[in-house]
Amino acid sequence: MIENLKKKVFHLFLGISLKRRLFITYLLLSSLILMLTSVFFYTASKKVLIKRAALSSQQQLSLITSNLGEKIDNISNYAITLSINSNIADVLKENPTVPENTLEHFLVNSELTDQAQRIIGLHKNIYAWDILDTENHWFHSSTTETDQLDSILGPEVLDSLQTNLAFQFLGPFQISGEPTFVALKSITNIDNTKYLGALVLLIRETNISSAFRDLPDSSSRDFYITDENGQILSSSSSGGIYKDFSSYTKSVQRIIKP
């Protein structure tokens, strides 16, 4: 049957004038060339778009990394500036532990707050701060939320502040129901490096994840910070905190799919 069909088509083609046969052949060849050209341009365009998307993502990641670095460096600078402030050190020298007398405690906190607020001011990333005395008790200079850190950090971390003088950026932890990063910096006597206490700065996760926002295409992309175990520490939507990155992103994709 197919052979008969081929013969009929062939005889039909032979019955057409030479001029028309050439015209039909021209159309077929032109269509084939156009089809091949379209496939070539589609493939080439797809590769270019993929390269551009990859380059755009790399540029955004570089910008995000830079923004995050600047944020944490800025917080570190404030912590170090506070930790070496001579007026704060003088207050802590006279009060190595939190005064038991309510009035004395109030006066000490007034001095600490006055000095600290001159430095911190209205810092947009730091929403609260406090100072730990030499026996790991909080002065509650600007907040009582630091009481929650006793069980979160534990005595090992708090005790280590007496010997570990480096700036530490930990978290996020659930503090008052919000994912919060904690910056720690020991305060020492500049003359003899004697431990006087420690400074803690509280930073909401949303302040850190703001580094993801207001970037090109940021509304159509998601960004995440994870630890070495793949646990999400921060994200552009502030969602999925503490969850496994792979499991969370798969569940999000399932929800988005129609």
Predicted pLDDT of residue 210 = 79
Predicted pLDDT of residue 257 = 46
- Enumerate long-range contacts of 232-239, CB under 8 Å, 24 or more apart: 233/171, 233/172, 233/205, 234/172, 234/179, 234/205, 234/208, 234/209, 235/209, 236/209, 236/212, 237/209, 238/179, 238/205, 238/206, 238/209
Tens-level pLDDT at each residue, the chain (258 residues): 666 655 565 555 556 665 665 666 666 667 777 777 766 666 655 555 545 544 555 666 777 777 788 888 989 999 999 999 999 999 999 999 999 999 999 999 999 999 998 888 767 889 899 999 999 999 998 889 999 998 888 888 888 899 999 999 998 999 999 999 999 999 999 888 899 999 999 999 888 887 776 666 555 567 788 888 888 888 877 788 888 888 887 775 554 444
Buried b (16+ CB within 10 A) or exposed e, 120-157: beebebbbbbbbbbbebebbebbbebbeebeeebeeeb
**Vertex 250, ends 245 and 255: CA angle to 5°?**
125
Predicted pLDDT of residue 67 = 78
Predicted pLDDT of residue 58 = 66
Buried b (16+ CB within 10 A) or exposed e, 8-32: eeeeeeeeeeeeeeeeeeeeeeeee
Determine the Cα–Cα distance for residues 183 and 233; give it in Å rounded to an integer: 15
Please name the helix (run of DSSP H) or strand (run of DSSP E) that holds residue 129, with its range, or none: strand 128-132
Domains in the chain: ranges and CATH: 49-60+210-256 (no CATH), 79-207 (3.30.450.20)
CB 192 within 8 A of CB 200: no
129 backbone dihedrals φ, ψ, rounded to 5°: -150, 165
Residues in the chain: 258
Is 192 strand, coil or helix?
coil
121: alpha, beta or left? (left if phi > 0; alpha if psi -120 to 50): left
Q: Which of 74, 73, 76, 68 is nearest to 215 (CA)?
A: 68
CB 164 within 8 A of CB 178: no
Determine the Cα–Cα distance for residues 186 and 57; give it in Å rounded to an integer: 38
Q: What value does the CA radius of gyration of the chain take, rounded to a whole number of Å?
A: 33
